[in-house]
Amino acid sequence: PIEEGVDYALQVLAALAQAHSVDIVHRDLKPANVFLSKGLGGVLSAKVLDFGVSKMLGAASQRLTRTGAVVGTVAYMAPEQMMDAKRVDGRADLWSAGLVLYESLAKTHPFGAAAQGPKVVTSILNDPIPLIRTHRPDVPPELEAVIARMLQKAPDLRYGSAREVASVLAPFGSVRARPVLDEIRRAPPPSGAAAPGAGSARGVGRASIPPPSSSRAVPGSTAKPAQ
Protein backbone atom coordinates (compact mmCIF):
# COMPACT_ATOMS: atom_id res chain seq x y z
CA PRO A 1 0.00 0.00 0.00
CA ILE A 2 1.16 3.54 -0.78
CA GLU A 3 0.80 4.83 2.78
CA GLU A 4 2.76 1.90 4.16
CA GLY A 5 5.53 2.31 1.59
CA VAL A 6 5.80 6.02 2.39
CA ASP A 7 5.83 5.29 6.14
CA TYR A 8 8.84 2.98 5.67
CA ALA A 9 10.51 5.58 3.46
CA LEU A 10 10.07 8.18 6.22
CA GLN A 11 11.72 5.79 8.68
CA VAL A 12 14.65 5.37 6.30
CA LEU A 13 14.87 9.15 6.01
CA ALA A 14 14.92 9.44 9.81
CA ALA A 15 17.98 7.17 9.89
CA LEU A 16 19.64 9.18 7.13
CA ALA A 17 18.83 12.45 8.90
CA GLN A 18 20.66 11.22 12.00
CA ALA A 19 23.64 9.98 9.99
CA HIS A 20 23.88 13.13 7.88
CA SER A 21 23.65 15.34 10.98
CA VAL A 22 27.09 14.01 11.98
CA ASP A 23 28.36 14.13 8.39
CA ILE A 24 28.13 10.38 7.71
CA VAL A 25 27.00 9.33 4.20
CA HIS A 26 25.82 5.71 3.91
CA ARG A 27 26.78 5.18 0.23
CA ASP A 28 25.17 1.72 -0.02
CA LEU A 29 21.47 2.22 0.68
CA LYS A 30 19.44 -0.46 -1.11
CA PRO A 31 16.50 -2.77 -0.34
CA ALA A 32 18.84 -5.46 1.01
CA ASN A 33 20.09 -2.99 3.63
CA VAL A 34 16.63 -1.97 4.82
CA PHE A 35 15.24 -4.57 7.22
CA LEU A 36 11.75 -4.63 8.72
CA SER A 37 11.94 -5.29 12.44
CA LYS A 38 8.91 -6.36 14.49
CA GLY A 39 8.56 -4.31 17.67
CA LEU A 40 6.07 -4.15 20.52
CA GLY A 41 2.59 -5.19 19.46
CA GLY A 42 3.96 -6.64 16.22
CA VAL A 43 4.43 -3.21 14.65
CA LEU A 44 6.98 -3.28 11.84
CA SER A 45 9.64 -0.60 11.57
CA ALA A 46 12.38 -0.09 9.00
CA LYS A 47 16.00 -0.32 10.11
CA VAL A 48 18.88 0.90 7.94
CA LEU A 49 21.80 -1.53 8.19
CA ASP A 50 25.37 -1.96 6.90
CA PHE A 51 27.33 1.25 7.18
CA GLY A 52 30.40 -0.71 6.11
CA VAL A 53 31.23 1.58 3.18
CA SER A 54 29.92 4.77 4.75
CA LYS A 55 31.89 7.98 4.46
CA MET A 56 32.52 10.63 7.09
CA LEU A 57 32.76 13.96 5.32
CA GLY A 58 36.11 15.64 5.87
CA ALA A 59 37.59 12.73 7.81
CA ALA A 60 41.27 11.97 7.27
CA SER A 61 40.42 8.25 7.12
CA GLN A 62 38.82 8.86 3.74
CA ARG A 63 42.29 8.89 2.24
CA LEU A 64 41.87 5.11 2.16
CA THR A 65 39.23 5.61 -0.57
CA ARG A 66 40.86 6.53 -3.86
CA THR A 67 39.38 9.30 -5.95
CA GLY A 68 37.44 7.58 -8.70
CA ALA A 69 36.93 4.37 -6.70
CA VAL A 70 33.56 2.60 -7.09
CA VAL A 71 32.00 2.07 -3.66
CA GLY A 72 28.51 0.65 -3.10
CA THR A 73 25.99 -1.35 -5.12
CA VAL A 74 25.92 -0.15 -8.72
CA ALA A 75 22.17 -0.49 -9.34
CA TYR A 76 21.39 1.87 -6.44
CA MET A 77 24.23 4.37 -6.86
CA ALA A 78 23.61 8.00 -7.65
CA PRO A 79 25.27 9.11 -10.90
CA GLU A 80 27.87 11.22 -9.09
CA GLN A 81 28.80 8.25 -6.89
CA MET A 82 29.57 6.20 -9.99
CA MET A 83 31.93 8.93 -11.13
CA ASP A 84 33.71 9.45 -7.80
CA ALA A 85 32.55 7.81 -4.58
CA LYS A 86 34.95 9.88 -2.49
CA ARG A 87 33.30 13.21 -3.30
CA VAL A 88 29.64 12.40 -2.66
CA ASP A 89 27.49 13.96 0.05
CA GLY A 90 24.12 13.17 1.61
CA ARG A 91 22.24 13.85 -1.61
CA ALA A 92 23.63 10.57 -3.00
CA ASP A 93 21.81 8.75 -0.18
CA LEU A 94 18.61 10.61 -1.09
CA TRP A 95 18.90 9.26 -4.66
CA SER A 96 19.21 5.72 -3.26
CA ALA A 97 16.28 6.31 -0.89
CA GLY A 98 14.24 7.42 -3.90
CA LEU A 99 15.08 4.18 -5.70
CA VAL A 100 14.13 2.10 -2.65
CA LEU A 101 10.78 3.89 -2.42
CA TYR A 102 10.23 3.56 -6.19
CA GLU A 103 10.92 -0.17 -6.09
CA SER A 104 8.80 -0.79 -2.98
CA LEU A 105 5.78 0.83 -4.66
CA ALA A 106 6.32 -0.31 -8.26
CA LYS A 107 7.71 -3.79 -7.51
CA THR A 108 10.47 -3.16 -10.02
CA HIS A 109 13.68 -1.21 -10.38
CA PRO A 110 13.21 1.76 -12.77
CA PHE A 111 15.44 0.00 -15.31
CA GLY A 112 13.93 -3.45 -14.74
CA ALA A 113 16.03 -6.43 -15.76
CA ALA A 114 18.80 -4.12 -16.96
CA ALA A 115 19.50 -3.28 -13.30
CA GLN A 116 21.08 -6.73 -12.95
CA GLY A 117 23.66 -6.23 -15.69
CA PRO A 118 26.44 -3.91 -16.79
CA LYS A 119 24.03 -1.78 -18.84
CA VAL A 120 22.64 -0.28 -15.64
CA VAL A 121 25.65 2.03 -15.37
CA THR A 122 24.92 3.57 -18.78
CA SER A 123 21.20 3.73 -17.97
CA ILE A 124 21.69 5.53 -14.65
CA LEU A 125 24.16 7.98 -16.14
CA ASN A 126 22.30 8.74 -19.36
CA ASP A 127 18.73 7.39 -19.66
CA PRO A 128 15.59 9.14 -18.36
CA ILE A 129 14.10 7.55 -15.25
CA PRO A 130 10.68 6.08 -16.18
CA LEU A 131 7.97 7.81 -14.13
CA ILE A 132 6.60 5.53 -11.43
CA ARG A 133 3.01 5.84 -12.69
CA THR A 134 4.04 3.90 -15.79
CA HIS A 135 4.33 0.89 -13.44
CA ARG A 136 1.72 1.86 -10.84
CA PRO A 137 -0.99 4.24 -12.09
CA ASP A 138 -2.62 4.70 -8.67
CA VAL A 139 0.39 6.62 -7.33
CA PRO A 140 -0.75 10.25 -6.94
CA PRO A 141 0.88 12.62 -9.48
CA GLU A 142 2.19 14.76 -6.60
CA LEU A 143 3.97 11.76 -5.06
CA GLU A 144 5.32 10.85 -8.48
CA ALA A 145 6.80 14.37 -8.68
CA VAL A 146 8.51 13.94 -5.31
CA ILE A 147 10.09 10.64 -6.34
CA ALA A 148 11.13 12.10 -9.70
CA ARG A 149 12.92 14.94 -7.94
CA MET A 150 14.70 12.52 -5.60
CA LEU A 151 15.96 10.79 -8.76
CA GLN A 152 17.24 13.84 -10.60
CA LYS A 153 20.63 12.96 -12.03
CA ALA A 154 22.24 16.26 -10.99
CA PRO A 155 22.50 16.45 -7.17
CA ASP A 156 21.78 20.19 -7.18
CA LEU A 157 18.34 19.43 -8.64
CA ARG A 158 17.41 17.00 -5.86
CA TYR A 159 16.18 17.84 -2.39
CA GLY A 160 18.96 19.07 -0.13
CA SER A 161 18.41 16.87 2.92
CA ALA A 162 16.43 14.00 4.39
CA ARG A 163 14.41 16.55 6.34
CA GLU A 164 13.36 18.33 3.17
CA VAL A 165 12.29 15.06 1.52
CA ALA A 166 10.29 14.11 4.62
CA SER A 167 8.48 17.45 4.50
CA VAL A 168 7.03 16.66 1.07
CA LEU A 169 6.49 12.93 1.63
CA ALA A 170 4.62 13.40 4.92
CA PRO A 171 1.19 14.07 3.37
CA PHE A 172 1.28 10.63 1.68
CA GLY A 173 2.06 8.70 4.87
CA SER A 174 -0.27 7.51 7.58
CA VAL A 175 -0.92 8.93 11.04
CA ARG A 176 1.43 6.22 12.33
CA ALA A 177 4.32 8.19 10.85
CA ARG A 178 3.84 11.11 13.24
CA PRO A 179 6.50 9.97 15.80
CA VAL A 180 9.00 9.45 12.96
CA LEU A 181 8.33 12.94 11.63
CA ASP A 182 8.90 14.34 15.14
CA GLU A 183 12.22 12.48 15.23
CA ILE A 184 13.26 13.97 11.89
CA ARG A 185 12.32 17.45 13.13
CA ARG A 186 14.60 16.98 16.15
CA ALA A 187 17.59 15.80 14.10
CA PRO A 188 20.19 18.55 13.70
CA PRO A 189 20.45 19.80 10.10
CA PRO A 190 23.46 18.64 8.09
CA SER A 191 26.52 20.81 8.30
CA GLY A 192 27.51 22.91 5.28
CA ALA A 193 29.69 19.99 4.15
CA ALA A 194 26.66 17.78 3.56
CA ALA A 195 25.55 19.58 0.41
CA PRO A 196 28.40 21.69 -0.92
CA GLY A 197 27.38 24.53 -3.18
CA ALA A 198 23.66 23.78 -2.96
CA GLY A 199 22.88 26.05 -0.01
CA SER A 200 20.37 23.37 0.97
CA ALA A 201 21.55 22.67 4.50
CA ARG A 202 20.65 26.18 5.64
CA GLY A 203 17.26 26.35 3.92
CA VAL A 204 16.25 22.82 4.78
CA GLY A 205 16.97 23.42 8.44
CA ARG A 206 13.85 25.62 8.37
CA ALA A 207 11.74 23.19 6.32
CA SER A 208 8.31 22.61 7.82
CA ILE A 209 7.11 19.01 8.11
CA PRO A 210 3.31 18.93 7.97
CA PRO A 211 1.25 16.41 9.95
CA PRO A 212 0.65 13.10 8.12
CA SER A 213 -2.36 12.99 5.80
CA SER A 214 -3.05 16.69 6.42
CA SER A 215 -3.03 17.57 2.73
CA ARG A 216 -2.15 16.23 -0.66
CA ALA A 217 -0.53 19.50 -1.67
CA VAL A 218 3.20 19.13 -2.16
CA PRO A 219 5.31 22.21 -1.41
CA GLY A 220 7.44 23.06 -4.40
CA SER A 221 6.05 20.21 -6.48
CA THR A 222 7.19 21.76 -9.75
CA ALA A 223 9.74 18.97 -10.14
CA LYS A 224 10.09 17.64 -13.64
CA PRO A 225 10.83 13.99 -14.49
CA ALA A 226 14.48 13.08 -14.04
CA GLN A 227 16.48 13.59 -17.19
Q: If we measure between CA atoms, which residue out of 171, 103, 173 comes closest to residue 132? A: 103
Separation CA 10–CA 174 (nearest Å)? 10
Indicate if 138 belongs to the active site.
Answer: no
What is the amino acid identity at position 223? A
Q: Which is catalytic among the residues 7, 23, 28, 89?
A: 28
Active site residues: 28
